[in-house]
Structure 1
Amino acid sequence: MLAQTIMTTPVVTVDPAASIAAAVELMLSKKISCLPVLGTDGTLAGIISEGDFLRRGELGIQRTRAHWLEFLVGPGRIAEEYVRANGRRVEEVMTTDVVSAPPSASLAQIVELMARHDIKNVPIVERGKLFGIITRSDLLRALVRVLPKTGATTADDELIRRSVVAELQSQCWSGGDLLGVTVDNGAVELNGAIFDERQRKAAVVAAENVAGVKAIKDSLFCAEPFSMVLVS
């Protein structure tokens, strides 16, 4: 799945010269968490988000430091923080180094950008022009579309059994052939040995994700490591 298939478009944007008050009111009225900022030529100039309002002076929540720490931080950094806390225009507080992606980016690449940069929104840009935006809500909507619906898919018991076994054997945590699977009218029973209770939950999840599974019975038993004795 590509970025262009799930991105939100058209995008609600704001002008760099707009007031902070106007930007906040727009975000609240549209129920969105960020606003891409477009320059006069239509290219992406920056982005302003809820995080940019966490240290506003009006609320008395601007960053404060002891004087000796201010000396260590330096006047440039402190001046920048002052602008963010007291600026009146979008261009004064927006983030200009915007993390973006092209329409052809995969969802895996989008999620990696969000995780690496600790951001919630990724503008979709090509040749400097804004095509859309992907938020965490867009990812959730995409997830809902692909999650299997309960009872929506049917499969015969042997196909289900083979599918569950294949999934378990493909996972390094499963212990290979130590887990057994039986299926009766779509109801899966898991049996065999595990050595860590966390394997139990993982095995149930693996079975849940197989098409046609209607119910799961957990008959797994947890054995202490090295408690199994081999008899020659």
Structure 2
Amino acid sequence: MLARDIMTSPVITIEPSASIGEAADLMLNHHISGLPVVLANGTLVGMITEGDFLRRGELGTEQKRSRWLEFFLSPGKAADEYVRAHGRKIEEIMSDNVVCTRPDATLDEVVTQMIDRNIKRLPVILDNRLAGIVCRSDLLRALAAQLPIDTVARNDDALQDAIITELRRPSWSGNWTIQVGVKSGVATLSGVIFDERERQAARVAAENVAGVKAVTDELTWVDPMSGMTMPPPGAAREL
């Protein structure tokens, strides 16, 4: 799946000469937290988000420092903070260093950029023009579309094979000490784990197999250093 498959288009945008009041109204009326700032020809020049309105003089939330720290603050930095706290135009407070992506970028690339840059949205650029935007909500919709809705009818043997296959794929289950049994669609996990975190991972692996009705945890945790054991909870968790 690529960025163009999930991006929102057309995009609600604003011009750099617009007022911050116009931007606030657009965000509130459309229930969005950020706006690409574009020129009349569609060229992206910045981004305005809710975070840009946090330090505002009208709210009394502008940056405050002690006189001692103010002494070490450069005049340029102080001037920049003043503009961001009191500027009336979008171009005065917007972020102009915008991280963008391509329509053919993979979702893995999109998510990596969001995590590495700690951002919530990525404008999608095609031929130097804004073609769309990918937000975290777009990724959530893509996830919801991929989640199974109907249970798949499988016999117990097929479910057991599918769970074993799923357990053997990830690196954390390389000890091969987890046994699987299935009866009437209820999966039972037994055997030994050497890290308590493997318990939840094993449950998730079994629950992700379509057709499993419930998972019973009979895994015993063994501390590889001391040999201390923790008995399994044993209760079935229904899906």
TM-score, normalising length: structure 2: 0.90
Q: Report the equivalent of 2:71.
A: 71
Q: Report the equivalent of 2:237.
A: none
Q: Report the equivalent of 2:48.
A: 48
Q: Report the equivalent of 2:232.
A: none
Q: Report the equivalent of 1:60.
A: 60
- Tell me how far apart the structure 2 counterparts of residues 74 and 164 of structure 1 sit (CA, whole Å): 61
Shift of 1:65: 1.3
Shift of 1:41: 2.3
Distance 1:154 1:78, change over 3 A: farther
The one-character-per-residue Cα deviations of 1:35-59 (angstroms, maximum 9, x if unpaired) are: 1111132210111000100101100
Q: Report the equivalent of 2:212.
A: 213
8 Å CA contact 1:175, 1:194 repeated in 2: no
Q: Report the equivalent of 2:194.
A: 195
Q: Which 10-residue stretch deviates more, 170-179 or 87-96?
A: 170-179
1:34-45 matches, within 5 Å, as 34-45=34-45
The unaligned stretches of length 5 or more in structure 2 are 229-239
Any idea what SS the aligned residue of 1:216 has?
A: strand
Tell me, yes or no, if structure 1 residue 181 matches structure 2 residue 188.
no
Structure 1 residue runs of 4 or more that deviate by more than 4 Å after TM superposition: none
RMSD across aligned positions (CA) = 1.5
- Tell me how far apart the structure 1 counterparts of residues 223 and 118 of structure 2 sit (CA, whole Å): 40
What one-letter code is carried by the residue in structure 1 that aligns with 2:122?
V
Q: Report the equivalent of 2:160.
A: 161
Aligned residues: 227
- Tell me how far apart the structure 1 counterparts of residues 19 and 204 of structure 2 sit (CA, whole Å): 49
What one-letter code is carried by the residue in structure 1 that aligns with 2:177?
L
Identity %: 50
- Tell me how far apart the structure 1 counterparts of residues 40 and 113 of structure 2 sit (CA, whole Å): 27
8 Å CA contact 1:121, 1:135 repeated in 2: yes
Q: Report the equivalent of 2:100.
A: 100
Q: Report the equivalent of 1:147.
A: 147
The unaligned stretches of length 5 or more in structure 1 are none
What one-letter code is carried by the residue in structure 2 that aligns with 1:6?
I
Shift of 1:175: 4.4
TM-score, normalising length: structure 1: 0.92
Shift of 1:79: 1.1
Shift of 1:222: 1.5
What one-letter code is carried by the residue in structure 2 that aligns with 1:223?
V
- Tell me how far apart the structure 1 counterparts of residues 124 and 113 of structure 2 sit (CA, whole Å): 12
8 Å CA contact 1:13, 1:36 repeated in 2: yes
- Tell me how far apart the structure 2 counterparts of residues 180 and 44 of structure 1 sit (CA, whole Å): 55
Q: Which 10-residue stretch deviates more, 217-226 or 116-125?
A: 217-226
Any idea what SS the aligned residue of 1:78 has?
A: helix
Any idea what SS the aligned residue of 1:47 has?
A: strand
8 Å CA contact 1:7, 1:133 repeated in 2: yes
What one-letter code is carried by the residue in structure 2 that aligns with 1:113?
Q
What one-letter code is carried by the residue in structure 2 that aligns with 1:55?
R
What one-letter code is carried by the residue in structure 1 that aligns with 2:73?
V
Any idea what SS the aligned residue of 2:132 has?
A: strand
What one-letter code is carried by the residue in structure 1 that aligns with 2:187?
V
